[in-house]
Amino acid sequence: MTPVIRRHALPIALASLGGLYITQSVLGGFIWSALPAVMRQQGMALDQLGFLSLLVLPWALKFLWSPWIERWRRPHSQAARTKAVIAVGGGFILFATVLLALRGDMPLPMLIAALFVIATATATVDIACDGHAVEAFPTRAYGWANMVQVGGAYIGAALGGGLVLIAIDRLGWQAGMAVLIGLCLLGTLPFLLLRQPKPLGPPAPAGASLRAALMRPDLRRGLLITALFVAAMKSCMGFFGPFLVDYGFSLTEVGLYSASGSLVVGLLGAVLGGIVVARLGTLPVLMIALIGQACVLAYCLAVAAGWGLPLQPLAILTQIGSNAWLAFGFVALYARFMQWSDPGQAGVDFTIFQCTDALIGMLLGLVGGQIAQHFGYSALFGVALVCSIICGVGILLGWETPSENRVTG
Protein backbone atom coordinates (compact mmCIF):
# COMPACT_ATOMS: atom_id res chain seq x y z
CA MET A 1 0.00 0.00 0.00
CA THR A 2 1.42 3.38 -0.98
CA PRO A 3 2.31 5.43 2.10
CA VAL A 4 0.52 8.75 2.39
CA ILE A 5 0.64 11.70 4.76
CA ARG A 6 -2.23 11.62 7.23
CA ARG A 7 -4.32 14.79 7.28
CA HIS A 8 -3.35 15.75 10.83
CA ALA A 9 0.36 15.12 10.11
CA LEU A 10 0.60 17.31 7.00
CA PRO A 11 0.72 20.67 8.83
CA ILE A 12 3.41 19.33 11.19
CA ALA A 13 5.47 18.00 8.29
CA LEU A 14 5.14 21.29 6.41
CA ALA A 15 6.00 23.37 9.49
CA SER A 16 9.13 21.35 10.24
CA LEU A 17 10.15 21.55 6.57
CA GLY A 18 9.63 25.31 6.71
CA GLY A 19 11.94 25.44 9.71
CA LEU A 20 14.75 23.99 7.58
CA TYR A 21 14.24 26.63 4.92
CA ILE A 22 14.17 29.37 7.56
CA THR A 23 17.50 28.06 8.89
CA GLN A 24 19.10 28.12 5.45
CA SER A 25 17.93 31.68 4.83
CA VAL A 26 19.04 32.79 8.30
CA LEU A 27 22.56 31.73 7.31
CA GLY A 28 22.21 33.36 3.89
CA GLY A 29 20.92 36.61 5.38
CA PHE A 30 23.83 36.65 7.83
CA ILE A 31 26.49 35.96 5.18
CA TRP A 32 25.22 38.29 2.46
CA SER A 33 23.58 41.05 4.47
CA ALA A 34 24.67 41.29 8.10
CA LEU A 35 28.31 40.22 7.81
CA PRO A 36 29.36 42.74 5.12
CA ALA A 37 27.94 45.57 7.26
CA VAL A 38 29.82 44.31 10.33
CA MET A 39 33.07 43.87 8.43
CA ARG A 40 32.78 47.33 6.89
CA GLN A 41 32.17 48.88 10.31
CA GLN A 42 35.36 47.19 11.48
CA GLY A 43 37.27 48.84 8.66
CA MET A 44 37.45 46.13 6.00
CA ALA A 45 38.11 47.58 2.54
CA LEU A 46 35.42 47.34 -0.12
CA ASP A 47 37.63 45.32 -2.46
CA GLN A 48 38.10 42.73 0.30
CA LEU A 49 34.36 42.61 0.93
CA GLY A 50 34.00 41.74 -2.73
CA PHE A 51 35.52 38.33 -1.99
CA LEU A 52 32.34 37.43 -0.10
CA SER A 53 30.64 37.11 -3.49
CA LEU A 54 32.62 33.88 -3.97
CA LEU A 55 30.33 32.31 -1.39
CA VAL A 56 27.54 32.11 -3.97
CA LEU A 57 29.50 29.41 -5.83
CA PRO A 58 28.27 26.44 -3.73
CA TRP A 59 24.68 27.47 -4.44
CA ALA A 60 25.30 27.86 -8.16
CA LEU A 61 27.35 24.66 -8.53
CA LYS A 62 25.70 22.27 -6.06
CA PHE A 63 24.15 20.33 -8.95
CA LEU A 64 27.63 18.89 -9.58
CA TRP A 65 27.66 16.90 -6.34
CA SER A 66 23.90 16.42 -6.00
CA PRO A 67 23.98 12.89 -7.57
CA TRP A 68 26.42 11.64 -4.90
CA ILE A 69 24.30 13.13 -2.12
CA GLU A 70 21.13 11.60 -3.57
CA ARG A 71 22.62 8.13 -4.05
CA TRP A 72 23.71 8.06 -0.42
CA ARG A 73 20.48 9.62 0.85
CA ARG A 74 18.20 7.22 -1.08
CA PRO A 75 19.85 3.76 -0.96
CA HIS A 76 17.99 0.86 -2.52
CA SER A 77 16.05 -1.39 -0.14
CA GLN A 78 16.83 0.88 2.81
CA ALA A 79 15.18 3.82 4.54
CA ALA A 80 15.93 7.31 3.29
CA ARG A 81 18.78 9.08 5.09
CA THR A 82 17.45 12.62 4.79
CA LYS A 83 17.79 13.32 8.50
CA ALA A 84 21.37 12.01 8.47
CA VAL A 85 22.36 14.37 5.64
CA ILE A 86 20.79 17.31 7.48
CA ALA A 87 22.41 16.33 10.78
CA VAL A 88 25.89 15.96 9.25
CA GLY A 89 25.55 19.21 7.32
CA GLY A 90 24.29 20.92 10.44
CA GLY A 91 27.31 19.65 12.34
CA PHE A 92 29.68 21.27 9.85
CA ILE A 93 27.67 24.50 10.02
CA LEU A 94 27.73 24.48 13.83
CA PHE A 95 31.49 23.84 13.93
CA ALA A 96 32.27 26.67 11.49
CA THR A 97 29.88 29.07 13.23
CA VAL A 98 31.40 28.38 16.66
CA LEU A 99 34.82 28.99 15.10
CA LEU A 100 33.57 32.36 13.84
CA ALA A 101 32.21 33.19 17.28
CA LEU A 102 35.51 32.41 19.00
CA ARG A 103 37.68 34.13 16.38
CA GLY A 104 35.84 37.28 15.37
CA ASP A 105 39.12 38.92 14.36
CA MET A 106 40.36 36.11 12.12
CA PRO A 107 42.25 37.00 8.92
CA LEU A 108 40.27 37.29 5.70
CA PRO A 109 41.44 33.92 4.23
CA MET A 110 40.33 32.07 7.39
CA LEU A 111 37.06 34.00 7.42
CA ILE A 112 36.34 33.08 3.81
CA ALA A 113 37.25 29.44 4.50
CA ALA A 114 34.87 29.22 7.48
CA LEU A 115 32.08 30.91 5.55
CA PHE A 116 32.72 28.65 2.56
CA VAL A 117 32.22 25.62 4.81
CA ILE A 118 28.92 27.11 6.01
CA ALA A 119 27.79 27.94 2.46
CA THR A 120 28.74 24.51 1.08
CA ALA A 121 27.13 22.63 3.95
CA THR A 122 23.98 24.75 3.67
CA ALA A 123 23.76 24.19 -0.10
CA THR A 124 24.25 20.44 0.41
CA VAL A 125 21.56 20.28 3.08
CA ASP A 126 19.28 22.09 0.63
CA ILE A 127 19.68 19.21 -1.83
CA ALA A 128 18.30 16.82 0.78
CA CYS A 129 15.52 19.22 1.83
CA ASP A 130 14.29 19.71 -1.73
CA GLY A 131 14.53 16.02 -2.53
CA HIS A 132 12.48 15.20 0.57
CA ALA A 133 9.84 17.81 -0.34
CA VAL A 134 9.37 16.34 -3.83
CA GLU A 135 9.38 12.66 -2.91
CA ALA A 136 7.52 12.68 0.42
CA PHE A 137 4.63 15.06 -0.28
CA PRO A 138 1.76 14.34 -2.68
CA THR A 139 1.43 16.67 -5.64
CA ARG A 140 -1.66 18.30 -4.13
CA ALA A 141 0.56 19.57 -1.28
CA TYR A 142 3.28 21.06 -3.53
CA GLY A 143 1.78 24.54 -3.36
CA TRP A 144 1.84 24.47 0.43
CA ALA A 145 5.38 23.06 0.47
CA ASN A 146 6.61 25.87 -1.72
CA MET A 147 4.72 28.43 0.34
CA VAL A 148 6.77 27.43 3.39
CA GLN A 149 9.90 27.34 1.23
CA VAL A 150 9.52 30.86 -0.21
CA GLY A 151 7.94 32.25 2.96
CA GLY A 152 10.69 30.68 5.05
CA ALA A 153 13.26 32.35 2.82
CA TYR A 154 11.79 35.79 3.56
CA ILE A 155 11.53 35.13 7.30
CA GLY A 156 15.02 33.67 7.52
CA ALA A 157 16.60 36.50 5.53
CA ALA A 158 14.97 39.04 7.87
CA LEU A 159 16.21 37.17 10.95
CA GLY A 160 19.72 36.54 9.67
CA GLY A 161 20.22 39.93 8.06
CA GLY A 162 18.29 41.95 10.65
CA LEU A 163 17.92 40.36 14.08
CA VAL A 164 21.45 38.91 14.13
CA LEU A 165 22.89 42.25 13.01
CA ILE A 166 21.03 44.07 15.79
CA ALA A 167 22.26 41.49 18.33
CA ILE A 168 25.86 41.99 17.21
CA ASP A 169 25.51 45.77 17.40
CA ARG A 170 23.84 45.79 20.84
CA LEU A 171 25.38 42.77 22.56
CA GLY A 172 28.67 42.13 20.78
CA TRP A 173 30.04 39.65 18.27
CA GLN A 174 29.90 36.48 20.36
CA ALA A 175 26.39 37.16 21.65
CA GLY A 176 25.24 37.84 18.10
CA MET A 177 26.75 34.57 16.93
CA ALA A 178 25.00 32.81 19.82
CA VAL A 179 21.71 34.24 18.52
CA LEU A 180 22.59 32.94 15.04
CA ILE A 181 23.31 29.45 16.40
CA GLY A 182 20.13 29.50 18.46
CA LEU A 183 18.00 30.44 15.44
CA CYS A 184 19.56 27.63 13.38
CA LEU A 185 18.91 25.07 16.11
CA LEU A 186 15.31 26.22 16.55
CA GLY A 187 14.71 25.88 12.83
CA THR A 188 16.43 22.50 12.40
CA LEU A 189 15.66 20.43 15.51
CA PRO A 190 11.90 20.00 14.87
CA PHE A 191 12.62 18.26 11.56
CA LEU A 192 15.23 16.00 13.15
CA LEU A 193 13.17 15.14 16.24
CA LEU A 194 9.69 14.76 14.74
CA ARG A 195 8.51 11.87 12.59
CA GLN A 196 8.66 12.80 8.91
CA PRO A 197 6.71 11.35 5.95
CA LYS A 198 8.43 8.61 4.00
CA PRO A 199 9.14 8.79 0.25
CA LEU A 200 6.10 7.94 -1.86
CA GLY A 201 8.12 5.89 -4.33
CA PRO A 202 11.43 4.04 -4.77
CA PRO A 203 14.72 5.70 -5.73
CA ALA A 204 15.90 5.74 -9.35
CA PRO A 205 16.75 2.12 -10.37
CA ALA A 206 20.14 3.04 -11.85
CA GLY A 207 20.93 5.62 -9.20
CA ALA A 208 20.63 9.39 -9.40
CA SER A 209 22.55 11.05 -12.23
CA LEU A 210 22.74 14.34 -14.11
CA ARG A 211 22.63 12.50 -17.43
CA ALA A 212 19.31 10.85 -16.59
CA ALA A 213 17.86 14.20 -15.60
CA LEU A 214 18.97 16.04 -18.73
CA MET A 215 17.71 13.25 -21.00
CA ARG A 216 14.12 13.93 -19.96
CA PRO A 217 12.26 16.29 -22.35
CA ASP A 218 10.02 17.76 -19.64
CA LEU A 219 13.06 18.75 -17.59
CA ARG A 220 14.76 20.41 -20.57
CA ARG A 221 11.56 22.26 -21.41
CA GLY A 222 11.29 23.27 -17.77
CA LEU A 223 14.81 24.72 -17.86
CA LEU A 224 13.86 26.93 -20.83
CA ILE A 225 10.70 28.15 -19.11
CA THR A 226 12.73 28.77 -15.94
CA ALA A 227 15.29 30.86 -17.80
CA LEU A 228 12.58 32.99 -19.40
CA PHE A 229 10.62 33.38 -16.16
CA VAL A 230 13.71 34.40 -14.18
CA ALA A 231 14.64 36.87 -16.92
CA ALA A 232 11.17 38.39 -16.78
CA MET A 233 10.91 38.52 -12.99
CA LYS A 234 14.47 39.12 -11.77
CA SER A 235 16.49 40.85 -14.48
CA CYS A 236 15.66 44.36 -13.23
CA MET A 237 15.47 43.71 -9.49
CA GLY A 238 19.01 44.93 -8.83
CA PHE A 239 18.48 48.07 -10.88
CA PHE A 240 15.20 49.33 -9.45
CA GLY A 241 17.06 51.04 -6.57
CA PRO A 242 19.52 52.92 -8.79
CA PHE A 243 16.64 53.78 -11.13
CA LEU A 244 14.73 55.41 -8.25
CA VAL A 245 17.83 57.29 -7.08
CA ASP A 246 18.44 58.60 -10.59
CA TYR A 247 14.86 59.88 -10.66
CA GLY A 248 15.16 61.82 -7.41
CA PHE A 249 14.21 59.42 -4.62
CA SER A 250 16.29 59.58 -1.42
CA LEU A 251 18.10 56.57 0.02
CA THR A 252 15.78 56.66 3.03
CA GLU A 253 12.70 56.45 0.82
CA VAL A 254 14.17 53.59 -1.18
CA GLY A 255 15.20 51.78 2.01
CA LEU A 256 11.80 52.10 3.68
CA TYR A 257 9.91 50.89 0.64
CA SER A 258 12.44 48.12 0.07
CA ALA A 259 12.22 46.83 3.65
CA SER A 260 8.44 46.70 3.63
CA GLY A 261 8.39 45.15 0.18
CA SER A 262 10.99 42.50 0.93
CA LEU A 263 9.61 41.26 4.22
CA VAL A 264 5.94 42.09 4.72
CA VAL A 265 4.66 42.17 1.15
CA GLY A 266 7.01 39.42 -0.02
CA LEU A 267 5.87 37.12 2.76
CA LEU A 268 2.22 37.89 2.06
CA GLY A 269 2.82 37.22 -1.63
CA ALA A 270 4.32 33.85 -0.79
CA VAL A 271 1.39 32.89 1.44
CA LEU A 272 -1.16 34.06 -1.11
CA GLY A 273 0.72 32.23 -3.87
CA GLY A 274 0.59 29.00 -1.88
CA ILE A 275 -3.15 29.35 -1.32
CA VAL A 276 -3.89 30.10 -4.98
CA VAL A 277 -1.61 27.29 -6.22
CA ALA A 278 -3.40 24.85 -3.92
CA ARG A 279 -6.78 25.92 -5.33
CA LEU A 280 -6.08 26.73 -8.99
CA GLY A 281 -2.76 25.10 -9.84
CA THR A 282 0.58 26.53 -10.93
CA LEU A 283 -0.27 27.83 -14.41
CA PRO A 284 -2.71 30.59 -13.36
CA VAL A 285 -0.33 31.82 -10.67
CA LEU A 286 2.62 31.99 -13.06
CA MET A 287 0.57 33.90 -15.60
CA ILE A 288 -0.80 36.34 -13.00
CA ALA A 289 2.74 36.98 -11.71
CA LEU A 290 4.04 37.57 -15.23
CA ILE A 291 1.22 40.00 -16.01
CA GLY A 292 1.72 41.84 -12.72
CA GLN A 293 5.48 42.19 -13.23
CA ALA A 294 4.91 43.19 -16.86
CA CYS A 295 2.75 46.07 -15.65
CA VAL A 296 5.56 47.22 -13.34
CA LEU A 297 8.09 46.98 -16.17
CA ALA A 298 5.79 48.78 -18.59
CA TYR A 299 5.35 51.73 -16.20
CA CYS A 300 9.13 51.92 -15.61
CA LEU A 301 9.73 51.73 -19.37
CA ALA A 302 7.28 54.57 -19.98
CA VAL A 303 8.96 56.75 -17.35
CA ALA A 304 12.45 55.97 -18.68
CA ALA A 305 11.26 56.74 -22.22
CA GLY A 306 10.12 60.19 -21.08
CA TRP A 307 6.35 59.77 -21.38
CA GLY A 308 5.74 62.22 -18.52
CA LEU A 309 4.04 59.79 -16.13
CA PRO A 310 3.96 60.60 -12.36
CA LEU A 311 7.10 59.52 -10.53
CA GLN A 312 5.56 58.84 -7.10
CA PRO A 313 4.11 55.40 -8.02
CA LEU A 314 7.58 54.19 -9.01
CA ALA A 315 8.70 53.39 -5.45
CA ILE A 316 5.55 51.45 -4.65
CA LEU A 317 5.61 49.57 -7.95
CA THR A 318 9.30 48.62 -7.95
CA GLN A 319 9.98 48.01 -4.25
CA ILE A 320 6.61 46.67 -3.08
CA GLY A 321 4.68 45.53 -6.15
CA SER A 322 7.62 43.80 -7.81
CA ASN A 323 8.56 41.93 -4.62
CA ALA A 324 4.97 40.81 -4.19
CA TRP A 325 4.74 39.47 -7.76
CA LEU A 326 8.16 37.83 -7.40
CA ALA A 327 7.18 35.93 -4.24
CA PHE A 328 3.73 35.12 -5.63
CA GLY A 329 5.15 33.72 -8.87
CA PHE A 330 8.09 31.84 -7.42
CA VAL A 331 5.83 29.77 -5.18
CA ALA A 332 4.23 28.49 -8.39
CA LEU A 333 7.56 28.13 -10.22
CA TYR A 334 9.08 26.10 -7.39
CA ALA A 335 5.94 23.98 -7.20
CA ARG A 336 6.42 23.36 -10.91
CA PHE A 337 10.06 22.42 -10.23
CA MET A 338 8.68 19.71 -7.98
CA GLN A 339 6.29 18.52 -10.68
CA TRP A 340 9.02 18.48 -13.32
CA SER A 341 11.34 16.50 -11.01
CA ASP A 342 11.54 12.71 -11.01
CA PRO A 343 10.72 11.56 -7.45
CA GLY A 344 13.32 8.81 -7.85
CA GLN A 345 16.12 11.39 -7.96
CA ALA A 346 14.29 14.48 -6.77
CA GLY A 347 17.30 16.08 -5.11
CA VAL A 348 19.22 16.10 -8.40
CA ASP A 349 16.38 17.34 -10.60
CA PHE A 350 15.19 20.08 -8.27
CA THR A 351 18.79 21.20 -7.70
CA ILE A 352 19.31 21.59 -11.45
CA PHE A 353 16.36 23.97 -11.57
CA GLN A 354 17.59 25.92 -8.55
CA CYS A 355 21.09 26.25 -9.98
CA THR A 356 19.61 27.42 -13.28
CA ASP A 357 17.71 30.07 -11.34
CA ALA A 358 20.91 31.17 -9.54
CA LEU A 359 23.14 31.13 -12.62
CA ILE A 360 20.62 32.96 -14.82
CA GLY A 361 20.13 35.54 -12.07
CA MET A 362 23.90 36.05 -11.77
CA LEU A 363 24.35 36.40 -15.54
CA LEU A 364 21.40 38.77 -15.80
CA GLY A 365 22.99 41.02 -13.21
CA LEU A 366 26.11 41.29 -15.35
CA VAL A 367 24.30 41.66 -18.67
CA GLY A 368 21.66 43.99 -17.25
CA GLY A 369 24.34 46.35 -15.99
CA GLN A 370 25.90 46.56 -19.43
CA ILE A 371 22.52 47.17 -21.10
CA ALA A 372 21.59 49.90 -18.63
CA GLN A 373 24.99 51.56 -18.87
CA HIS A 374 25.30 51.61 -22.66
CA PHE A 375 21.68 51.75 -23.83
CA GLY A 376 19.77 53.18 -20.87
CA TYR A 377 17.03 52.05 -18.53
CA SER A 378 14.47 51.97 -21.30
CA ALA A 379 16.41 49.23 -23.10
CA LEU A 380 16.77 47.23 -19.87
CA PHE A 381 13.07 47.41 -19.03
CA GLY A 382 12.13 46.75 -22.65
CA VAL A 383 14.18 43.56 -22.83
CA ALA A 384 12.69 42.31 -19.56
CA LEU A 385 9.19 43.11 -20.83
CA VAL A 386 9.82 41.13 -24.02
CA CYS A 387 11.01 38.19 -21.91
CA SER A 388 7.72 38.38 -19.97
CA ILE A 389 5.71 38.13 -23.17
CA ILE A 390 7.82 35.30 -24.62
CA CYS A 391 7.65 33.39 -21.34
CA GLY A 392 3.87 33.76 -21.10
CA VAL A 393 3.33 32.60 -24.67
CA GLY A 394 5.81 29.76 -24.24
CA ILE A 395 4.11 28.52 -21.09
CA LEU A 396 0.69 28.59 -22.72
CA LEU A 397 1.90 26.77 -25.83
CA GLY A 398 4.33 24.32 -24.24
CA TRP A 399 2.66 23.48 -20.95
CA GLU A 400 2.26 19.72 -20.60
CA THR A 401 1.28 17.32 -17.89
CA PRO A 402 4.35 16.13 -15.95
CA SER A 403 5.63 12.63 -16.46
CA GLU A 404 3.42 9.95 -14.99
CA ASN A 405 6.29 8.38 -13.05
CA ARG A 406 5.20 9.81 -9.72
CA VAL A 407 2.75 8.91 -7.03
CA THR A 408 0.16 11.65 -6.74
CA GLY A 409 -1.16 10.55 -3.38
* Average pLDDT of the segment spanning 224-231: 87
Same domain, yes or no, for 171 and 220? no
* Average pLDDT of the segment spanning 83-99: 95
Kindly state the percentage of the chain with pLDDT values over 70: 93
Same domain, yes or no, for 51 and 183? yes
Condensed to tens digits (0 to 9), the pLDDT of residues 208-218 reads 899 999 999 88
Same domain, yes or no, for 251 and 345? yes
Q: Are 391 and 229 in contact (CB under 8 A)?
A: yes
Same domain, yes or no, for 62 and 131? yes
Same domain, yes or no, for 317 and 240? yes
DSSP 321: I
Same domain, yes or no, for 189 and 296? no
Same domain, yes or no, for 174 and 29? yes
* Residue 404 included in any domain: no
In terms of Cβ atoms closer than 10 Å to its own Cβ (0-12, 13-18, 19+), residue 383 is buried
Condensed to tens digits (0 to 9), the pLDDT of residues 142-169 reads 888 888 988 888 888 888 888 888 888 8
* Average pLDDT of the segment spanning 48-69: 85
* Residue 383 included in any domain: yes
Same domain, yes or no, for 143 and 220? no
* Residue 217 included in any domain: yes
Q: What is the pLDDT of residue 46?
A: 65
* Residue 181 included in any domain: yes
Condensed to tens digits (0 to 9), the pLDDT of residues 2-56 reads 444 455 678 899 999 999 999 999 998 888 778 887 887 788 776 677 777 778 8
CA distances from 195 to 83, 127, 192, 321, 375 (A): 10, 20, 8, 39, 56
For the chain, the residue count is 409
Using pLDDT thresholds of 50, 70 and 90, give the confidence band for residue 59: confident
CA gap 147, 35 in Å, rounded: 27
CA gap 174, 167 in Å, rounded: 9
- Asked which of 193, 222, 257 is the last residue of a domain, the reply is 193
Same domain, yes or no, for 171 and 275? no
Q: What is the CATH number of the domain that holds 288?
A: 1.20.1250.20
Runs of H (alpha helix) within 266-376: 266-280, 282-304, 313-315, 322-340, 346-375
CA gap 294, 329 in Å, rounded: 12
- Asked which of 163, 193, 223 is the last residue of a domain, the reply is 193
In single-letter form, the type of residue at position 337 comes to F
Same domain, yes or no, for 165 and 237? no
* Residue 141 included in any domain: yes
Same domain, yes or no, for 49 and 158? yes
Q: What is the pLDDT of residue 214?
A: 92
Which of 391, 400, 350, 361 lies closest to 69, judged by CA?
350
Q: What is the DSSP secondary-structure string of 55-123?
A: GGHHHHHGGGTHHHHHHHHS-TTS---HHHHHHHHHHHHHHHHHHHHH-TT--HHHHHHHHHHHHHHHH
Number of domains composing the chain: 2
- Asked which of 164, 193, 222 is the last residue of a domain, the reply is 193
Q: Are 202 and 372 in contact (CB under 8 A)?
A: no
* Residue 218 included in any domain: yes
CA gap 409, 406 in Å, rounded: 9
* Residue 239 included in any domain: yes
Condensed to tens digits (0 to 9), the pLDDT of residues 264-313 reads 788 888 889 989 988 888 889 999 999 999 999 999 999 999 998 999 89
* Average pLDDT of the segment spanning 103-122: 86
Per-residue burial over 223-257, b if 16 or more Cβ lie within 10 Å, else e, is: bebbbbbbbbbbbbbebbbebbeeeebeeeebeeb
Backbone angles phi, psi at 90, to 5 degrees: -65, -35
Spatial neighbors of 320 by CB under 8 A, at least 6 apart, are 257, 260, 261, 265
Same domain, yes or no, for 185 and 217? no
* Residue span of the structural domain in which 78 resides: 10-193
CA gap 230, 53 in Å, rounded: 20
